[in-house]
Structure 1
């Protein structure tokens, strides 16, 4: 997968992950892009480590599922961090 394809995959999967998770997550499009790309990387790493699967290409459903699951994990972690730091202020 090309670098631009990976960025686009991360942006779309980050937006899908935000839509799936209940509640309100902070951050705009830039934060969604960054968290989505980090989530896609995390999903690919975990998928390869645990299930021995990886990215097959931009239009592969396996790539999309890996990236969405990784983005959801990253958004949950991000929400826990921002919720904890927001309660102290």
Structure 2
């Protein structure tokens, strides 16, 4: 997958993760993009696996929870 594909998939994963996690996440589209790429980088996602998208979204939700705890302290 090229860089553009990674960026687009990352943005989609970040947006889905932010939609699924309850509460407000004060971040722009750039942080959403980085969140989705971070979800992919956790290693759950493998290119070409349909369930990998779900794993990347779950990874991004975990990162959102960690980001929320770090932001509070």
Shorter-normalised TM range: 0.7 to 0.9
Give, in angstroms, the shift of residue 65 of structure 1: 1.0
Secondary structure of the corresponding residue to residue 79 of structure 1: helix
Corresponding position of 2:22: 22
TM-score by length of 2: 0.86
Q: Supply the distance in 1 between the matched residues of 2:20 and 2:36 (Cα, whole angstroms).
A: 13
Is 1:10 matched with 2:10? yes
Match of 1:66 among 45, 55, 72: 55
SS at the partner of 2:22? Answer: coil
Contact 1:14 1:36 in 2 (8 A): yes
TM-score by length of 1: 0.72
Regions of 4+ moved over 2 Å: none
Q: Is the 8 A contact 1:56 1:62 kept in 2?
A: no
2:54 and 2:2 map into 1 onto residues whose CA distance is: 18
Cross-structure match for 2:70 = 81
Distance 1:76 1:11 in 2: 18
Between the two proteins, the alignment pairs up a number of residues equal to 73
Rounded Cα–Cα distance in structure 1 between residues aligned with 2:29 and 2:55: 21
CA RMSD across the alignment:
1.4
